[in-house]
Structure 1
Amino acid sequence: MSYEVNLNFDLGGSVILMKKRLLTFMGIGLLVLGLSACGTGNKHTTTASDLPNSGKYEPTLFFHGWGSSYRAEKQMAQSLVNAGLTKTIVRATVSKHGKVALSGQFRKGDYHPIVEVGFEDNRNSNPRQWGRWAEATVIKLQQTYQMKKLNMVGHSMGNMAIMYYLLDNSHKLPKLQKQVDIAGHFNGILGMGDEPNQMTLQPNGKPKKMQADYKALLPLRQTYPKHQIAVLNIYGDKNDGSHSDGSVSNASSKSLRYLIAGRAKSYQERKIVGPNAQHSKLHDNAHVDKLLIDFLKN
């Protein structure tokens, strides 16, 4: 390819020499750019076609709480790596418009990778929107890896992402096998429609007073995938008389049972007690890590 350079002054033979040097310089520069472009275009990204037995991959997705990020998931994710459940951690960043960018990739033969999900619009207070972002994440992973099963772990608002995801997609997307809810505020938050020791549950787990978000989830009593999902519900009690983790009452966390009773494959509750059972400390709690490891391993 040739280029003509017009220098708007006349210096006799010097002009010809300068033209040649400039053309040589530009040619080298374009060659380097071309090679760089080829390297970028050929950068390898693992997809389902690169993974034998792609249907065997069952990732565990972590969803953080309101105002938080994927960093809140790092200890729990690392505890699974340390326990030998996986060697793979992938990050999924979700824009406020639902565009998902993956960082990292599934590895051949590592069938239980971790996906740390981060929502950029992390102060959005619409739980249904969080469910849409969870859906976008699952769709992106399904398109990339053609997975058929997955697990989900949520902390705080991350639990609402899971619940609203299930409300809208309980039968359409890859099967959810295991669901871990940590510090879930299914029927309200202290100071926002709930106060310590005010909310009460009936013997079947039904709240005597339901908040709007909880009422919106009631259809799950008929649509939650039947006998498919094993559920572990972890909540904190600071042991200070409030029967709460400082932000969410134990009754609000335990109200999950009524929403999925009779439909979950199994359901169990675990209470963490003491100062480290505070709401924002539960995702960095060694006892929670152990419960999570045992539940996912089994």
Structure 2
Amino acid sequence: MKKRILMFLGLGLLLAGLSACGTSRQRTTSSALPDSSKYEPTLFFHGWGSSYHAEEQMAHSLVNAGLTKTIIRATVSKQGKVSLSGQFRQGDYHPIVEVGFQDNRNSNPHQWGRWAEATVIKLQQTYHTKTFNVVGHSMGNMAIMYYLLDNSRKLPKLQKQVDIAGHFNGILGMGDEPNQMKLKRNGKPDKMEAGYKALLPLRQTYPKHQIAVLNIYGDKNDGSHSDGSVSNASSKSLRYLVAGRAKSYQERKIVGPNAQHSKLHDNPQVDKLLINFLRN
């Protein structure tokens, strides 16, 4: 009898221990804060071959401007597993998420879109995020565009989209040449690359009257009408894809040597535009 009692006690302690482990695991997968619907993170997506380091200048400019005190990092593995470093702070409603893709030389834009989706889902699961903003540089814009193109799930709503140095209709030397592409008044290019044609469904599926868009592009002022890697026409072709459905659409040109493609994410003029756009 005594042995039977001891056995039941031992079984009870074991189940209690397993229950505690399960509770602890649940806590690690959800960090919902009070008033979770008020938190609207801004996700930064870097370019091809780059990393979250390219986002740091812009992210810290937002902190210095008083928009937030919180910067966390989301690292996305080749398989799409997202790991978060840092955490949102209670009452700091506009945190920054610096996203880093480990397979940063992958050239499949659909894959970049899937990684962006995985990041949004991770934030939704962890913080019950309901709205968010995005900032993309170069290939990071493709992560955003293909996230919007391929996504059919019910996910947090994108509120503001900032595109910097976007190569929506080709890259110089790879389907585009300086001063060759012509755009109609609505942004429609006279010649469409295969990648641009793939994005055309967004003209019917881009969330209607939901997203405010800021399109920033660089002109080195050297006669090429480009940032050295992407023609202004390629960047401005975004208008034709989204302007008819966006809540608002605006373009801003940065001119001079610091408007070079890889310098745009460290440009104080870009920082100022970004701050004003996200603040308002």
- TM-score normalised to the size of structure 2? 0.89
Please say if 1:272 is aligned against 2:249: no
Whether 2:232 is the aligned partner of 1:232: answer no
In structure 2, the residue matched to 1:93 is: 75
Residue 250 of structure 1 aligns with which residue?
A: 232
Query: What letter matches 2:222 in structure 1?
Result: D
- Given the superposition, is the C-alpha separation of residues 237 and 177 from structure 1 closer, same or farther in structure 2, using an over 3 Å criterion? same
Asked whether the equivalents of residues 48 and 54 of structure 1 are also in contact (C-alpha less than 8 Å), the reply is no
How far the C-alpha of 1:200 sits from its partner, in A, is: 0.8
Q: Which residue of 1 aligns with 2:131?
A: 149
For 2:209 and 2:228, the matched residues in 1 are separated by 33
- Structure 2: 5+ residue runs without aligned partners? 1-19
* SS of equivalent residue, structure 1 residue 105: coil
Where does residue 59 of structure 2 map in the other structure?
Answer: 77
Q: Could you list the per-position Cα deviations for residues 18-74 of structure 1 after superposition, in whole angstroms to 9, with x for gaps in the alignment?
A: xxxxxxxxxxxxxxxxxxxx9xx9799787655110111000000000000000000
Greater Cα shift, 46-55 or 151-160: 46-55
Cα displacement (A) at 1:80: 0.3
Aligned letter for 1:115? V
SS in 2 for 1:52: coil
Q: 29, 33, 36: which one pairs with 1:54?
A: 36
The aligned residue for residue 214 of structure 1 is: 196
1:188 aligned residue = 170
Partner of 1:293: 275
Pick closer, same or farther for the CA change 1:149–1:271 going to 2, 3 Å.
Answer: same
Say if 2:171 and 2:229, in contact at 8 Å, map to a contact too: yes
User: C-alpha displacement at 1:237, in angstroms?
Assistant: 0.1
Unpaired segments ≥5 residues, structure 1: 1-37
1:44, 1:136 → 2: CA distance?
19
Deviations 1:65-91 (A, max 9, x none): 000000000000000000000000010
Q: CA deviation at 1:170?
A: 5.9
Query: Deviations along 1:106-139, whole A, 9 cap, x unmatched?
Result: 0000000000000000000111110000000000
Aligned partner of 2:137: which letter? H
Scaled by the length of structure 1, the TM-score of the pair is: 0.84
SS in 2 for 1:235: strand
Q: What is the total number of aligned residue pairs between the two structures?
A: 259
Partner Cα distance (1:274, 1:290) in 2: 16
Aligned pair in 2 of structure 1 residues 160, 243: CA closer, same or farther (>3 Å)?
Answer: same
Equivalent residue runs for 1:151-190 within 5 Å: 151-169=133-151, 172-190=154-172
Against the structure 1 CA distance between its residues 87 and 44, is the aligned structure 2 distance closer, same or farther, given a 3 Å change threshold? farther
Do 2:228 and 2:260's aligned partners in 1 also have CA atoms closer than 8 Å? yes
Amino acid at match of 1:108: Q
Tell me the secondary structure at the aligned position of residue 240 of structure 1. coil
Counterpart secondary structure, 2:125:
helix
- AA aligned opposite 1:131: G
Counterpart of 1:8? Answer: none
Note if contact 1:45-1:105 (Cα within 8 Å) is conserved in structure 2. no
- Aligned residues with identical type, % of pairs: 86
Contact 1:152 1:179 in 2 (8 A): yes
Larger radius of gyration: 1
What is the CA–CA distance in structure 2 between the aligned matches of 1:256 and 1:172, rounded to whole Å? 25
Most deviating of 43-52 and 73-82: 43-52
* 2:112 paired residue among 115, 130, 136: 130
SS at match of 2:72: strand
d(CA) in 2 for partners of 1:217, 1:138: 21
Aligned partner letter, 1:175 = K
Whether the aligned pair in 2 keeps the contact of 1:46 and 1:105 (CA below 8 Å) is no
- Please give the alpha-carbon distance, in whole angstroms, between the structure 2 residues aligned to 1:50 and 1:118: 23
State the Cα distance separating 1:261 from its structure 2 match: 2.3
